[in-house]
């Protein structure tokens, strides 16, 4: 499918994939990506030209924060015209959050940005790092009729490329660490590399890349559970500068319909706090109004997250809050798919 070599920029932010084991001490140390070809000779079989850039200090993904999303975005936009595709190496624990955020920050993206990582270090005998890295680079370089085939942020792990803002980490031990419960993989790696073009996010190539640098992290995620009570909502509403609540509800968007709960949500919305309803189920969608226990949430102005993941909902809210939108416009835009994050 690819007709010519592509220029690929490999961006290392941190994570297990960037570690190599010192076989004398057994300790893990950072991998020197300037010696990439020497350590992974299989990359020579690819026709692409690969260059690397790294964070000055690698970030454990547990320490990832919105300012680093912007830093990744700046690395991409700074080199956007020089490369055909980008591969971001990232720790797997928060990769779905970071990759989702980049999908919103990079508007009108016309080149592939593929996030990947690994469960084992790149130098381990049974590592998944080499396959994830090699295939991610191959995917980032794929073209059709001289144009990039993938024009969105993806996440590649264990033989599958997912739309990044549809992913969730589901396993801490298995190589198949990620899943996309509500959207099929956009590419699969087997004997052949198959890209499902009908599932790719379509963009207008006539529009220039627009990089959004502002994110507002004054939000919280509240997960309902039997025993969730009024004190939790009261404590949340006392958080200074709180602007958004992601409410992880039961099933198709159901929550207690007792007065203390509804009054608390109503009070939050009256204070100008955006409240988004997402399901805490692994798959499926919010359908407010399908049951009596969600009808009143809809009535007080809670925003439907539809089939969005919590990770993408967090990213989308951080992205939209700085836009200073009216309550009505914010609700309309949040409930609209911007980057293929919901149906």
Please identify, among 181, 211, 241, the residue that sits at the C-terminal boundary of a domain: 211
Residue 262 · residue 254 · CB < 8 Å: no
Chain mean position to CA 225? 25
Please identify, among 188, 211, 234, the residue that sits at the C-terminal boundary of a domain: 211
Please identify, among 195, 211, 227, the residue that sits at the C-terminal boundary of a domain: 211
Question: Are 239 and 183 in a shared domain?
Answer: no
Residue 180, φ and ψ in degrees, nearest 5 = -130, 90
Q: Which helix (H) or strand (E) holds 234?
A: helix 230-237
DSSP string, 28-91: EEE--GGGHHHH-GGGGGS-SEEEEEE-SS---GGG--HHHHHHHHHHHHHTTTT-SEEEEE--
pLDDT in tens, 36-59: 767 788 888 888 999 999 999 989
Distance CA 288, CA 11 (A): 41
Residue 255 belongs to what domain range?
A: 219-334
User: In terms of Cα–Cα distance, which of 208, 179, 201 is closest to 80?
Assistant: 208
Kind of pairing between the strands at 7-12 and 85-89: parallel
pLDDT in tens, 54-97: 999 989 999 999 999 999 999 999 999 999 999 999 999 999 99
CB atoms within 10 A of CB 108: 14
Catalytic residue among 13, 16, 116, 167: 16
Question: Are 87 and 26 in a shared domain?
Answer: yes
145: CATH: 3.40.50.1170
pLDDT in tens, 193-204: 999 999 999 887
Mean pLDDT throughout 258-278? 97
Question: Are 100 and 225 in a shared domain?
Answer: no
Domain membership of residue 143 (yes or no) is: yes
pLDDT at 177: 92
Distances in Å between the Cα of 203 and the Cα atoms of 107, 154, 206, 291, 338 are 10, 15, 9, 37, 11
> Given pLDDT bands bounded at 50, 70 and 90, which one contains residue 290?
confident
242: CATH: 3.40.50.40
Mark whether 16 is an active-site residue. Answer: yes
Kind of pairing between the strands at 160-163 and 153-157: antiparallel
Residue 20 · residue 124 · CB < 8 Å: no
Kind of pairing between the strands at 113-116 and 153-157: parallel
């Amino acid at each position: 499918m690819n007709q010519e070599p592509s220029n690929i920029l490999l961006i290392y932010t941190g994570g297990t994939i960037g570690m190599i084991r010192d076989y004398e001490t057994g300790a893990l140390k950072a991998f020197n990506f300037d010696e990439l070809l020497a350590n992974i000779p299989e990359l020579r079989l690819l026709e692409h030209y690969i260059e690397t850039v790294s964070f000055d200090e690698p970030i454990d993904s547990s320490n990832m924060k919105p300012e680093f999303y912007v830093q990744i975005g700046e690395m991409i936009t700074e080199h956007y015209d020089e490369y055909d595709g980008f591969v971001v190496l990232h720790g797997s624990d928060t990769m779905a959050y970071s990759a989702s955020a980049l999908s919103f920050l990079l508007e009108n993206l016309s080149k592939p940005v593929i996030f990947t990582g690994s469960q084992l270090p790149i130098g381990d005998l049974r590592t998944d790092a080499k396959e994830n890295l090699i295939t991610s680079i191959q995917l980032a370089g794929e073209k059709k009729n001289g144009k990039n085939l993938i024009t969105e942020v993806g996440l590649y792990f264990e033989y599958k490329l997912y739309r990044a803002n549809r992913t969730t980490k589901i396993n801490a031990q298995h190589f198949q660490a990620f899943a996309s419960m509500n959207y099929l993989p956009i590419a699969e790696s087997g004997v052949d590399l198959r890209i499902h073009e009908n599932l790719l996010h379509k963009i207008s190539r006539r529009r220039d890349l627009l990089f959004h640098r502002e994110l507002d992290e004054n939000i919280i995620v509240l997960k309902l559970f039997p025993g969730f009570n009024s004190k939790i909502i009261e404590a949340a509403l006392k958080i200074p500068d709180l602007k958004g609540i992601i409410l992880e509800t039961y099933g198709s968007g159901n929550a207690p319909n007792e007065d203390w709960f509804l009054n608390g949500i109503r009070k939050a919305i009256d204070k100008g706090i955006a409240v988004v309803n997402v399901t805490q189920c692994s798959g499926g969608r919010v359908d407010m109004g399908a049951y009596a226990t969600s009808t009143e949430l809809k009535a007080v102005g809670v925003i439907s997250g539809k089939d969005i993941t919590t990770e993408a909902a967090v990213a989308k809210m951080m992205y939209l809050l700085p836009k200073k939108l009216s309550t009505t416009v914010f609700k309309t835009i949040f409930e609209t798919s911007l980057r293929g994050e919901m149906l």
